[in-house]
Structure 1
């Protein structure tokens, strides 16, 4: 059974609801980046970027290491993979339902054709 009430997934989907956070994640798919790199294309202060990054960090989508004054950020592939797997199970379930609906509609159409002959 698919678990619909999972605190980790709830946090992930709340984090993904924001376009700036999605942009930061998209940038991190290319590799590690500093907070300044993440902030560059966004129309917000570095402080605001840090706050958004903390939201992503709390739900374990990203991690960071600070060396000196530079904070290097990276994507947490495990959390992304777990979220993708959850969505895959959901998609497969819906595909089964749609396949059954398609079969039913095909049978209904065949029956209607036979009755019209």
Structure 2
């Protein structure tokens, strides 16, 4: 079963899908993908609040979070590091830009559906 949850600030109609919870017998992972914040809203803590909202929406339901960002996006990498994410791989995007793939594994996860 795949469940999709969209998190966006009020009034943002084009925020798009930023979270898909993948359910499997052995693991439940929140695949965030790429978290994007409008350029005029960057540096105001919007990304941190969105990430916190995603994590809260998945509380007790996932064992791991996964996402990606530009490998040279120092501000994004700092945010994710502060939130407990670790770079697990690098890969190119379709345009050849280098991406960092990050994961956060929850220790002692107590999923409600486990």
With structure 1 as the length reference, what TM-score do the two structures score?
Answer: 0.30
The structure with more helix, counted as a fraction of residues: 1
Higher relative contact order (CA 8 A, sep 6+): 1
Q: Which has the higher strand share?
A: 2
Higher CA-based Rg: 1
What is the TM-score of this pair, normalised by structure 2? 0.30
